[in-house]
Amino acid sequence: MSKSPLARRLGTITAFALSIAATVAFAFSPATVSAATPDPLIDQQWGLADIGAAQVWSQSTGVGVTVAIIDGGSGPHADLDANLDPGQSIIEGNRTSGGADSSGSEGHGTEVAGIVAAVNGNGIGISGVAPNARILPIRVFEAGRPTSNSNDVALAVRFAVDAGARVINLSLGSDSEDSRITSAVAYAVSKNVLVVAAAGNEKDGNINPKWPAVDDNTIAVQAVDDNNKEAIFALHGDYIDLSAPGVSVMSTKTSVFTCNGITQPSGYGCDKVNGTSFAAPFVSGAAALLFSARPQITAAQVRFLLTSTAIDLGDPGKDTTFGAGLINLPAAFAALNIMFPMVNDPIITTLSRVGFLATGTAPTNAQSPQLQWFRCTAQGAVAAKKPTECTAINNAVALTYQMTVNDLGKFLRFGVRTTTAGVKSIVLSATSPRVNGVWLKVDGLLPGNTYTFGQLIGSPSKGIRSIKVVSGACFVKNSALVVRPNATECKIKVTISAKSPFPQLGFTAIFKITT
């Protein structure tokens, strides 16, 4: 079944967790990881190795990216607390700030969060796929109640977007579409947020495709076991986009659990951690790594990288069991480095014209960069501190800056401030070319042709334009430049009279006549 609308009705939303032993409810930057005190259970995390997470941690660990977990609450947990934001509880439309932990629940949201962003290198437990990402827990399931109000989920999605999440994890779903959730997901996509949804688990013969995974705007995630075979509870359908580990996944728990029958340290386990609920956060964590590595990347580009580099597991190409295949982080990052080549220093791309945009590119590994544009009176190379001839431009703190008349005759720099281990630093790009208020709109002239001043001269100034021929086989007639048929070169002087807020503008140009 494709991701096309099914019958619309209000359905209960349940968490997608499944116990293999006993079926439970099928329910709806420099970036380096510290290895000084290894995580003792990381060797039992077959899922991390399966997707190649540790192989890309030298490039990204999720710094600066927030993943919203819309579930039954996440934490408190010693292996999560450092990465947990306060979050919010939304139950029957009632919002409670800071009440998004998993107290009183079975810990489903804590398990999901641990897969995404358990702390690495702290000497306890496990590591998440993106161990330095932030987790925004949003609780939509009450304690002892495995279903949620669809409107609460829709409100949670919108809250996550407005709170700054770049990835939203939905390890939940329903047999039917709810227009409020569909609308909320569309809102997320319109704001460049990636929405990851569990594809659903078969329980008691229920093989209906699951919403919102069916929605084209989500990435629907299938579960595989440690042999990369489809999980025994797998649903099929052409709505499935990707596959990820989802059987016996070691993660953070809310009490003492076992893994392969062996009792684990309190707060960890893999038995009963089965389901597409736990495959989805592998994809959410992978997306967080890509967003962190290149903050300028779009959600659509992250989706493309993950699906286009996946390991094909089933029939050639995208199929109804595995989608595009198993996420493959090393391949995704190889493609990312082609799409967005590494940048060591800030750079500016601009035509240096008043009214035009200048675009800055931050160093690839800048952690949580703060951006600032500067106006300078002299040229200069890349600088590790602000030159005295440069002044910060008020409110110019985005990747792009539209040049104004105040920049006329000046040079621009793009600055990036970062904080690493509490130490603040700044690096400024080399200067742009001098900002101009008048320019030529053509590169060459053709013999025998006539060009109006408007065709030749570009400027936001409203002053009167004039052209004087200095030399060559050209002449001015009726506010136009006429090129004689035998012309080989034409030297002209362009002038625009002063017109507030612009002074008099002008330059001299030499054209080689093309034939």
Helix, strand, or coil (residue 468): strand
Residues 286/269, Cβ–Cβ less than 8 Å = no
Residues 308 and 276 in one domain: yes
Domain endpoint, select from 380, 400, 428 = 428
105 tagged catalytic: no
Please state the φ and ψ torsions of residue 306, each to the nearest 5 degrees.
-70, -40
Residues 148 and 285 in one domain: yes
**Structure tokens, 84:** 């947990």
CA separation, residue 97 to residues 92, 119, 437 (Å): 14, 24, 51
Residue 89 falls inside a structural domain = yes
Catalytic residue among 89, 127, 176, 277: 277
Residues 138/88, Cβ–Cβ less than 8 Å = yes
Residues 292 and 150 in one domain: yes
Helix, strand, or coil (residue 515): coil
Domain endpoint, select from 304, 322, 339 = 339
Residue 287, domain CATH: 3.40.50.200
* Span 214-233, pLDDT tens digits: 999 999 999 999 999 999 99
**Structure tokens, 351:** 């035509």
Catalytic residue among 108, 178, 432, 461: 108
Q: What gap in Å lies between CA 289 and CA 56, rounded to an integer?
A: 8
Rounded to 10 degrees, what is the CA torsion of 261, 266, 268, 274? 50
CA separation, residue 304 to residues 324, 361, 367, 443 (Å): 11, 22, 24, 38
pLDDT at 465 over 70: yes
Residue 3 falls inside a structural domain = no
User: What is the number of domains present in the chain?
Assistant: 3
Task: Determine the length of the chain.
Answer: 515
109-111-116 Cα angle (round to 5): 95
Residue 174 falls inside a structural domain = yes
Angle between helices 276-293 and 299-308 (to 10 degrees): 120
Residue 384, domain CATH: 2.60.40
Residues 274/247, Cβ–Cβ less than 8 Å = yes
Residues 332 and 285 in one domain: yes
pLDDT at 435 over 90: yes
* Span 306-339, pLDDT tens digits: 999 999 998 899 999 999 999 999 999 999 999 9
Catalytic residue among 71, 175, 271, 407: 71
pLDDT at 7 over 60: no
236 tagged catalytic: no
Residues near 342 by Cβ (< 8 Å), separated by ≥ 6?
364
Residues 418/425, Cβ–Cβ less than 8 Å = yes
Q: Which amino acid is at 467?
A: I
Q: What gap in Å lies between CA 156 and CA 150, rounded to an integer?
A: 10
Domain endpoint, select from 339, 357, 377 = 339
Q: What gap in Å lies between CA 408 and CA 405, rounded to an integer?
A: 5
State residue 11's pLDDT score: 39
pTM: 0.72
Residue 381 falls inside a structural domain = yes
* Span 111-124, pLDDT tens digits: 999 999 999 989 99
Range of the domain at 386: 347-428
Give the DSSP H or E segment for 412.
Answer: strand 411-420
**Structure tokens, 102:** 């998993």
Residues 264 and 183 in one domain: yes
**Structure tokens, 362:** 């931050």
Residues 101 and 143 in one domain: yes
Q: How confident is the model at residue 259 (pLDDT cuts 50, 70, 90)?
A: confident
Q: Which residue has the tokens 């709505």?
A: 239
Residues 374/428, Cβ–Cβ less than 8 Å = yes
- The closest alpha carbon to 340, from 361, 326, 316, 315, belongs to 361
Residue 265 falls inside a structural domain = yes
292 tagged catalytic: no
**Structure tokens, 404:** 């104004």
Rounded to 10 degrees, what is the CA torsion of 321, 128, 257, 19? -10
**Structure tokens, 123:** 């000497």
As beta bridge partners, residue 244 has: 223
**Structure tokens, 1:** 């079944």
Residues 490/453, Cβ–Cβ less than 8 Å = no
Q: How confident is the model at residue 364 (pLDDT cuts 50, 70, 90)?
A: confident
- Give me the sheet containing 465-472, strands edge to edge: 465-472, 489-496, 505-512
State residue 21's pLDDT score: 28
